[in-house]
Amino acid sequence: MTASAPEEERASGLGARRTTSPPSGADGSGGRRGEPGSGLTRAYLFAQRTARALVRGVHTNWRRSLHLRVVSTTLVLSAVVMLGLGYVLVSQVRSGLLDAKIDTAVSDHRAGLNYALAELQESETVDRDRLLYNIVGELTSRSGDTGQFGVFILPSVDDEAGWATGENNSVPQRLITQIRQSTSDQQYHTYTRIEQDGAEEPALVVGAELTHAYELYYVFPLQHEQEILDLVQHTVVLVGALLVVLLGLIALVVTRQVVHPVRSAAGSAERLAAGDLTERMAVQGEDDLARLALSFNDMAGNLQEKIQELEELSKLQRQFVSDVSHELRTPLTTIKMAGDVLFDEREELEPTMRRSVELLQSQVERFEELLADLLEISRHDAGAATLGTESADIRDAVVKAVGDAEQIAEKRGIKVVMRLPADPCTAEYDPRRINRILRNLVVNAIEHSEGRDVVVTAAADRDAIAVAVRDYGVGLKEGEEHLCFDRFWRADPARVRTTGGTGLGLSIAKEDAALHGGWLQAWGMPGQGSQFRLSLPRRSGDELRGSPLPLVPPEFAMGRNFTREGEENP
């Protein structure tokens, strides 16, 4: 019967591992990097920058490349699986080798015990030392020429000499103590390391009590088993590495077959989104990717047809509006001339006829404004609108726009307050179009001010100029700050239009601002009024990055962080 060795000895394999601590400062942690400006410091900083650039490059490629992620994941998972399988395989081989060796060793040791006990019982010689020496020699000869094991007979008392075929220190003290403390004649074994040809190698030691005075030990070198285990480990490592590489190559090829068509589809989609309606994908085979390409091509074809139909319809609509506007000018001119004659003679007409003539004159003027706006919006739609830029002061445009709307404000009892800076606010813009924008904004503010004052503010900074028109009337609901620039849109359709607008003023103003490379934005709150802000670059053609005036009035922006660029940069 055998007793197992301690678990930590069994888990250690065939022999103990030695670890050697590196000398102090060998890893560079305790050394000096050099003084500032030295070659060592520059090399360290260069290596640090290179490492950071490499990490950033890998991270960027990892996020952008599906191919890299799939192949890398396959390699990592394959390596983990191979490590697990290799560990299990090596553990099984190690366990099998050691179990077989233990069984053989215990069997040989039991045979040696039986032989030694028989010799001791049959011999009647008085020279027991000589007898024990002969027993050791006989048992040692059974190991053969290869020296499969060594034999030791040690006395149970430490001060007596023992007989052995090698050094007695091959038997570990823990095994000796375990046998001497045992009350039975069972066998024990453990692992140790022995000196063999000037080198240490693992060994298995089996021992048991021979008589009350002596103990018999067998020492079995495990060098052969260690060589087998090393061969198995090297084979597993080599085969595992080859399998990981092969799996990586397989993943590379398979992923490329999938990723390449996907990349091609992405490129085609980008070109289609950029406006190339003739873009199509190449169809190869009849698999799922081929079906994707066919579906993409069908979608692109249908999209191209629909866009062409819409372009034709839009072109016809623009042409119709332009033609109708031009054709209506001739009869309108005749009607206006006749109306002017009647309007000039209205004092001589009866009261009923005089009122009719005045209504005719106002409606003819409104009709003329509508035709002018339709012609202007058709020019923007056709891309035929041009700028006549010149350097001008935006303060003059504000004063002119307020002056044009003065009569309307007086009729409604509204005061228009101008807050203009003392310094000039010059910029390169088209005065005709900017005057029209400001006039529309001021008139629109008067229309919706509910009898309250209207404030017009101008400001400028190094790169931009801005004009804000603020009213304290009905305001705008959430989402209407964008809808208010749509053609013919009205916040409240039931509301009576007292100023006779055409419904195209803000749409044309938005187009004029965009033509300058500027912004026209709106803010409003129900019951708190609204504010419209026009922002223009000071130099024609420059990109507008910010506005010198806030879009949200300061009293509503408290506690919120607004940038100089405003809340809604287009």
CATH class of 388-556: alpha beta
Q: What would the two tokens of residue 428 be?
A: 């390169």
Residues 6 or more apart in contact with residue 144 via CB below 8 angstroms: none
| DSSP state letters, 321-356 | HHHHHHHHHHHHHHHHHHHHHHHHTGGGS-HHHHHH
In sequence order, the β-bridge partners of residue 163 are 153
CA distance 501 to 440: 9
SS3 245: helix
pLDDT (0 to 100) of residue 139: 84
Please give the single-letter amino acid code of residue 484. C
CA distance 488 to 477: 17
CA distance 507 to 488: 8
**What are the domain boundaries of the chain?**
1-10+50-276, 300-378, 388-556
Calculate the alpha carbon distances from 453 to 402, 412, 421, 479, 531 in Å.
13, 10, 20, 25, 13
Question: Among 279, 266, 241, 264, which residue's Cα sits nearest to residue 78?
Answer: 241
Please give the single-letter amino acid code of residue 496. V
Q: What is the pLDDT of residues 51-80, one digit of tens each?
A: 888 888 877 877 777 777 888 888 888 889
Q: What is the dihedral of CA 38, 41, 42, 46, to 10 degrees?
A: 170
Name residue, tokens 């959430």: 478
Task: Assess contact for 41 and 48: CB atoms under 8 A.
Answer: no
Q: What would the two tokens of residue 38 be?
A: 């030295």
Please tell us whether the domain made up of 300-378 is placed in CATH 1.10.357.10.
no
How many of the other CB atoms lie within 10 Å of CB of 280?
17
Sign of CA dihedral 473, 479, 485, 491: negative
String of b and e for 315-335 (b: at least 16 CB within 10 Å)? eeebeebbeebeebeeebeeb
High-pLDDT (> 90) share of the chain, %: 13
pLDDT (0 to 100) of residue 491: 60
Where helices occur in 23-65 by DSSP H, the ranges are 39-64
Q: What is the dihedral of CA 311, 317, 320, 324, to 10 degrees?
A: -150
296 against 164, higher pLDDT? 296
Q: What is the pLDDT of residues 8-30, one digit of tens each?
A: 333 333 433 333 344 444 444 44
What is the mean predicted confidence (pLDDT) over 94-107? 89
Q: What would the two tokens of residue 14 be?
A: 């065939």
> Over 50: is that where the pLDDT of 148 sits?
yes
Task: Assess contact for 219 and 152: CB atoms under 8 A.
Answer: yes
Q: What is the pLDDT of residues 360-410, one digit of tens each?
A: 887 887 777 777 777 777 766 666 677 788 999 999 999 999 988 888 888
String of b and e for 109-121 (b: at least 16 CB within 10 Å)? bbebbeebeeeee
564 against 200, higher pLDDT? 200
What is the mean predicted confidence (pLDDT) over 271-284? 81
What is the mean predicted confidence (pLDDT) over 181-202? 82
CA distance 475 to 39: 69
Mean pLDDT, the chain, as a whole number?
79
Residues 6 or more apart in contact with residue 343 via CB below 8 angstroms: 357, 358, 360, 361
> Over 70: is that where the pLDDT of 1 sits?
no
pLDDT (0 to 100) of residue 455: 93
Q: Is 450 exposed, middle or buried (0-12, 13-18, 19+ CB in 10 A)?
A: middle
Please give the single-letter amino acid code of residue 58. V
Helix axes 394-404, 431-447, angle to 10 degrees: 50
Which band of pLDDT confidence, cut at 50, 70 and 90, is reported for residue 535?
very high
CA distance 149 to 482: 96
Question: What are the percentages of helix, strand and coil residues in the chain, rounded to 5?
Answer: 55, 15, 30
Q: What is the pTM of this model?
A: 0.46
Q: What is the dihedral of CA 540, 542, 544, 546, to 10 degrees?
A: -100
Name residue, tokens 């996020």: 63
pLDDT (0 to 100) of residue 36: 46
Q: What is the pLDDT of residues 41-52, one digit of tens each?
A: 888 888 888 888
What is the mean predicted confidence (pLDDT) over 471-495? 77
Task: Assess contact for 361 and 343: CB atoms under 8 A.
Answer: yes
Please give the single-letter amino acid code of residue 150. G
Q: What would the two tokens of residue 415 be?
A: 């005061």
